[in-house]
Structure 1
Amino acid sequence: MRLALSLCLLLAQPAVADVQNPLQPSEAWPDIRDTLIADAPDPPIDPGQLLLDAPARADDPAVVPIHLTQPPGAAPIERLVLVIDNNPAPVAADFTFGTALMPLDMEVRVRVNAYSDVRAVAWLKDGRQVMAGRFVKASGGCAAPASKDPKAAAAEMGQMRLKAAPADDGRTMATLMIRHPMSSGLQRDQVTLLDIPAMFIDRMEVRQGDAPWLTMSAGISVAEDPVFRFAVTPGTGPVTVHAEDTDGHQFDQALTLN
C-alpha cells in the first residue's frame, strides 16, 4: 500500500526537466528582443510548438548541449534563432529548415560564458512566433582554451563526417561533424599566452540533392568542432555540405548518409 501511494505521488509530480531551470528575468533580453523582432512583445512560450532542453548546470561551459524539439502536430518551423543572453555575442546561430527536418528534433553544442538564459525564438510557417528556453549555470565557455594543438586543428580543419542511426519516430537521426577550431577571439594560446584571433564558421548549408535540409548563420558561441544532430526524412541523392568561415576558407563535401 505504501509503495503504491509513493508511486502515485511520483507520477502526479511534473517532470523534473519542466521545472528545474526555467527562463529567468534577464536584463539583456529586451535589447536582444528589439534587435530580433523590433518592438513586438515576447513571443509566447508554447510547449505545444517548441521545446528547448539544456542542463541546469553545464559539465563543460565550452560544450553545452542544446536540444530543440517539437511535439507531434506542431506547425513547421521556417526560421529559428538560438540566443544566449549573457554571451559577448548573444545570437549563437540563426537557422532555416527544409521540410525534411520537420517536426524539428535537433541538438547543437554551444559555449556559455556566464549564468544565462538560453532561448530559441522560432518563426512558424503559419505566421506565428514562439519561444522556448532554459536557464543554464555555466561560466567561461567563450574563453575556455581550445582542446587541440593549433597545428593539429589547422591540419584537420574542414574535415566532415555524417553518421546515421534510427530515430525514435521512424525517421533517420543524422549526425554531422565538422572539424574547426571555432576560435572565439577571447581565447589565449596556452604556450605563448597571446590572444588567438577569432575565426569561426559563420555560414553553412546542408542539402540532399536539390532539397534544402538546413542553413545556419553563426557567431562565436557554437562550440569547437561543431556537431549537429537532427532527425530527417531522407530523400535521394548525396548530402552536400557547404561551409564558410570568417577567414574566407570554404569547405565543400558530398557525404553519404549511412
Structure 2
Amino acid sequence: MNFWHAAALAVLIVGPGLPALAQDNPLEPSESWEALRVDVTGEAEIGDGSALFDIVAPYRAEDAATVPIQIVQTNMDETITAATVVIDENPAPVAAEFDFSPAMLPLDFEMRVRVNQYSNVRVIAETPEGLKMAGRFVKASGGCSAPASRDPEIALASMGQMKLRLFGEPPAMSQARREAQIMIRHPNYSGLQRDQITQLFIAAHFLDHIEVWQGDEKLWAMDGGISISENPVFRFDYADNGATALTVKATDTEGNSFEQVLPKAAEG
C-alpha cells in the first residue's frame, strides 16, 4: 500500500463516519486553559458555541499523533468566519488558526492533530456576534513526540507533494456543495521527536501557512503549529464555483514554498 492509499484509508476510517452528535466527552475544567486564555483571545468574552457547531473527536484516540478533529456547523443561520483550534495540554497549545470564506459555510471541516497528553481540544469560532467555543476531552498521550513514520531523508525528498480527492458526483450547477480531501506530504517535525538512529532531537520543521483556492476564490487559509499531524490531511465541504482545479499554496518554517494546481479531473 503506497503513501496516498494509506493516508486516504486513514481518513476514510475516521471520517465522515464519526458520530457528529451525542458524544460523551465534553470539555472538562482546565487550569491550563484559564492560564492561556488571555494569550489566545485577549479579554474578549467567549460564548457557548454548542448551539452553533459541534466538535467530533474520539474520547480515546487510537493514535495520539493523528487524532481526527471535525468541526460541524449545526446552526445554518449564523456565520463562522474564522476559528482557532487549541489543545490545552500540548507544548504549543494553539494548533492552528483558520480563516473561512463564505463558500465554506455551513462549515464541515476535518483535520488530524497531535495530542500530547489527556487534554481538552477546543475550537473558538469567530462570528459577527462574537467568539463562541465548543470542544471535546480527548484521552491520548505522546502525540507530539511520537516517532515519524518515515525515514527523514525520504520524508524530505517527497516534501510538498500534494493530492486531491473529491467525493460524489460533479455538481449539476454552480455553487453546489462538494466534499474534498487534500493531502500534503510534509514531516511536520514538532521538535520533540528523536532520530531513531542517533537519538538526537529532530529540529522543528513544519508547515506554518496553507491556502486553498478555487480559481480566484480563496476557500480557506491556515496558520499552523507543531500540533498539526505529519503529512497533513484536510477534508471539507465547499460550494463549487465551477473552477477546474483547486490550488494549494503552502510555506514551512524553513522558508520553503510549495504550490500545486490539483485538477478536479483526478477525483475519485
Instruction: Give the TM-score normalised by the residue count of structure 1.
Output: 0.89
Q: What is the distance in 2 between the residues matched to 1:72 and 1:118?
A: 21
Correspondence list, 1:150-169, <5 A? 150-166=152-168
Instruction: Judge conservation of contact 1:74–1:103 (CA < 8 Å) in 2.
Output: no
Q: Which runs of 5+ in 1 are unaligned?
A: 1-14
TM-superposition CA deviations, 1:90-124 (whole Å, max 9, x none): 00000001111101001000000010000000001
1:248 to 255, 259, 265: 255
The residue number in structure 2 matching 1:28 is 32
From 204, 211, 214, the counterpart of 1:205: 211
Instruction: Quote the residue 1:61 is aligned against.
Output: 64
Higher deviation after alignment, 155-164 or 170-179:
170-179
Q: Is the 8 A contact 1:50 1:130 kept in 2?
A: no
How many residue pairs get matched? 240
Question: In the TM superposition, what are the counterparts of 1:30-109 in structure 2 within 5 Å?
Answer: 30-41=34-45, 43-109=46-112
RMSD value, Cα: 1.6
Cα deviation per residue 1:152-199 (whole Å; 9 max; x = unaligned)?
A: 1111100000110039xx621100000000000000011111110000
TM-score, normalised relative to structure 2: 0.86
Task: State the one-letter code of the partner of 2:56.
Answer: D
Query: Contact 1:115 / 1:136 at 8 angstroms: preserved in 2?
Result: yes
Deviation at 1:72, TM superposition (A): 4.6
- Alpha-carbon separation, structure 2, partners of 1:16 and 1:102: 17
What's 1:143 paired with?
A: 145
Answering whether residue 131 of structure 2 is matched by residue 129 of structure 1, we say yes
Q: Percent identity?
A: 48
Matched, 1:18 2:22: yes
Q: Which amino acid aligns with 2:234?
A: F
Query: What amino acid maps onto 1:199 in structure 2?
Result: H
Q: Quick one: distance in 2 between partners of 1:20 and 1:44?
A: 21
Measure the CA separation in 1 of the matches of 2:250 and 2:177.
25
- Structure whose alpha-carbon radius of gyration is higher: 1
Q: Deviations over 1:25-63 (max 9, x none)?
A: 10111232201222234x222332111110000100000
Counterparts of residues 178-257 of structure 1 (less than 5 Å): 178-237=184-243, 238-257=245-264
Write the distance in 2 (CA, Å) between the matches of 1:131 and 1:35.
16
| Bigger mean CA deviation after superposition, 104-113 or 238-247 | 238-247
